[in-house]
Amino acid sequence: MPHYRFSPAELASKIGVALPSLELVLAERGPVTQQLAERLGATLGHSARYWVALQLQYDLWHGSLAGSEQARESN
């Protein structure tokens, strides 16, 4: 998280989550859960709603990409 100037280990420690769990999220292989969103919000100054909205946008984007690929494959 270069913008915030925390290493993943520092952020994991600050928000009280296991480093492997946070690394999954940072690598885009795990979701931002409500609990993680609340912890990120409290530590980084954004609301939990902000972090959940980012996750939703990510999910919608990847869902639309998958839908586009399926449409191309069926043609």
CA quadruple 44, 46, 51, 54: dihedral sign = negative
Indicate if the pLDDT at residue 75 is higher than 60: no
Options 1.10.10.410, 1.10.260.40, 3.40.50.2000, 1.10.10.10; CATH for 2-74 is 1.10.260.40
74 pLDDT tier (thresholds 50, 70, 90): low
Q: Count CA atoms closer than 13 A to 24's CA, side-chain side.
A: 10
The mean pLDDT value for 21-47 works out to 95
Q: How far is CA 37 from CA 11, 21, 56, in A?
A: 13, 13, 12
Q: Which residue, among 43, 40, 65, has the nearest Cα to 53 in the 3D structure?
A: 40
The answer, yes or no, to whether residue 64 has pLDDT greater than 90, is no
pTM equals 0.77
Contact 54, 44 (CB under 8 A): no
In the predicted structure, residue 73 carries a pLDDT above the cut 80: no
Domain residue spans in the chain? 2-74
